[in-house]
Structure 1
Amino acid sequence: MEYVSRSLASARTAVLDRAQRAVIAVLKTGPIPRHVAFVMDGNRRYARTQGMHVLQGHRDGFIALRRMLEICFLLGVQCVTVYSFSIDNFKRSQEEVDGLMSLAEDKLLELCEHGGILQQYGARINGVGKTELFPPHVRAAVAKAEELTRHNDKKILNLCMPYTSTDEIKTALEGTVNEAMRDAVEKGRPASPITEDDIDAHLMTSKCHSPPLDILVRTSGVKRLSDFLLWQCVDDTQIQFIDTYWPDISLLDLVPVILDYQRKAWAL
């Protein structure tokens, strides 16, 4: 009986996989965004509704990340940026923060393991944010993940952790001003006016060679950006809010987002 149950489950998975790939093939006949970002919101509320410990919600959130990465890469999305950990998240309970640090260490290396999703799709991983705020074992995991994938040149995964957009903009401004002052001293003349392009070039995501942000998706029904990619969203980015908690997100949630992007691209 157990063998029959496993066989049925395997058959259902195969059918779902074929159906998903068929939907992706149809979507790929239209324009596909180069850069999609996710605010992975709702892990804790998902856990509470399921009667789980909060950390289990975060673990299920990692499974959802892997699922969405594969969908995006199959679609042909070049760059995925995710809000993994806000600087403000350090204010949460010590138990949750410690659990998140341990989870981050394990899952970072799991993403990069031989034959894993990043190697399969040739994706390079970038830690974006003030990684010096992490404990040493997490900083080491970030550095190792970057090293293991540094030769991958087909896709990009930006993990914003620990990150806030205001910190990114502040850091970019400091870098821009310092560079302008050094240049002025070296050339013995007044500093050139600072432009938006100068600041943009010093953003953490720009240094990761990320293309312009096409779509930003926030899950869980909350309609705010929460200090994420504020500079990058000011131009032509389409912002989408969906009600699904992040651990439950699937291709069905992404289809309307992609179709809306395609509709607006065709209307230009």
Structure 2
Amino acid sequence: MWSLMRSPAPGRRLTLRWCLNLGICEVTVYAFSIENFKRSKEEVDGLMELARQKFTRLLEEKNKLQKHEVCIRVIGDLSLLPEDIQKLIAHAVLETKAYSKCFLNVCFAYTSRHEISNAVREVAWGVQEGLLEPRDVSENLLGQCLYTSNSPDPDLLIRTSGEVRLSDFLLWQTSHACLVFQSVLWPEYTFWNLCEAVLRYQYNYSVIQKSRELYSKERSRLQNDTDDTWVQMNIHRLEFRDEEEKSKVFQRLMFQCRTERENRTQNFLKELEKKRECFLQSLCTH
């Protein structure tokens, strides 16, 4: 997966074609930050009108999307947008959700801090509804509640225009990505600029993979520690004939703990996905 910050439509389409030619099948673009709502009314209205045109065009070109099996995902808080744009986005997402050849993720009405806060609210909803227990809450579960839960974490993030900051873009997801900052502006962005970024990723590939593996092991260790604590709390209430019996009970409780947590988590994620899809369906029917 490859991420891209703030690109105008013409450059974006061309760059997406280059990505496909290079075998990059998933791209995320930063189209509109929640912070942009702080701009003047005239500027915000202009950006919203541009969004109307772009999403309308996407729907008009749905045959092309079907031909190339392009799945459109819009990442952000749609409730912050005008109702007609919400409806256009919902139609575009639902029309293409079954396609799986390539994926275009559009961050719209998005900031990473807002996304993480929303993930916390989703988990709190799961606990409140009885789908989860408080001890089920983990870093891994929060990650599965992000807007990008259906996508792998980005391998490469490109920031153009000479800015050396992420502007609240995919902060959680890019913790183990290759970050490339390029001074070129989008109107002048070329295939060779893209190749330079890809080569930097390839050069750093082994270091990135090692970092991800160490992180995965540490996350597994923390989850094991949580499970172990729960088992120890429960096993102390029991009496045993000998250490062998205690060891067998410990293993049984550990298996029970992990199985029940996994079942609760999967059930919660299914309900969360259903809730999100119902929201999109409701926009299409109103």
TM-score by length of 1: 0.72
2:179 aligned residue: 239
Question: Residue 264 of structure 1 aligns to which amino acid in structure 2?
Answer: N
2:151 to 183, 195, 210: 210
Aligned pairs (5 A) from 1:1-268: 35-40=1-6, 61-112=8-59, 113-116=61-64, 118-183=65-130, 191-206=134-149, 209-234=150-175, 236-265=176-205
Map Cα deviations across residues 87-116 of structure 1 (whole Å, 9 max, x no partner).
110111222211111111111232340454
| C-alpha displacement of 1:67 | 0.8
CA distance in 2, matches of 1:177, 1:127: 23
- Tell me the distance in 2 between the aligned counterparts of 1:111 and 1:135: 18
- Which consecutive unaligned segments of at least 5 residues does structure 1 have? 1-34, 42-60
- Specify every segment of 5 or more residues in structure 2 that has no aligned partner in the other structure, as ranges: 210-286
Shift of the 194–228 alpha-carbon distance from structure 1 to 2, 3 Å rule, reads same
Query: Does structure 1 retain, via aligned residues, the 8 Å contact 2:153–2:174?
Result: no
Aligned CA distance change for structure 1 residues 145 and 247 (closer, same or farther; 3 Å): farther
Aligned equivalent of 2:281 = none
For 2:220, the equivalent position in structure 1 comes to none
C-alpha contact (below 8 Å) 1:67/1:250 kept by paired residues: no
Rounded to whole Å, the distance in 2 between the matches of 1:215 and 1:101 is: 28
| Shift in alpha-carbon separation, 1:120–1:242, aligned structure 2, 3 A | farther
Work out whether residues 79 and 211 of structure 1, in 8 Å CA contact, stay in contact via their aligned partners in 2. no
User: Distance between the aligned counterparts of 1:95 and 1:167, measured in 2?
Assistant: 24
Displacement over 4 Å in runs of 4+ = none
Aligned pair count reads 207
Aligned-residue identity in percent: 37
Give the C-alpha shift of residue 193 in structure 1.
4.4
Q: Which moved more, 1:257-266 or 1:127-136?
A: 257-266
Give the CA deviation at 1:139: 1.2
CA RMSD of aligned residues (A): 1.9
Where does residue 8 of structure 1 map in the other structure? Answer: none
Relative to the length of structure 2, the TM-score reads 0.67
- Between structure 1 and structure 2, the one with the greater Rg is 2
Deviation at 1:184, TM superposition (A): 6.5
The separation in 1 between residues aligned to 2:63 and 2:199, in whole angstroms, is 31
Residues in 2 aligned to 1:92 and 1:262: alpha-carbon distance in whole angstroms: 38
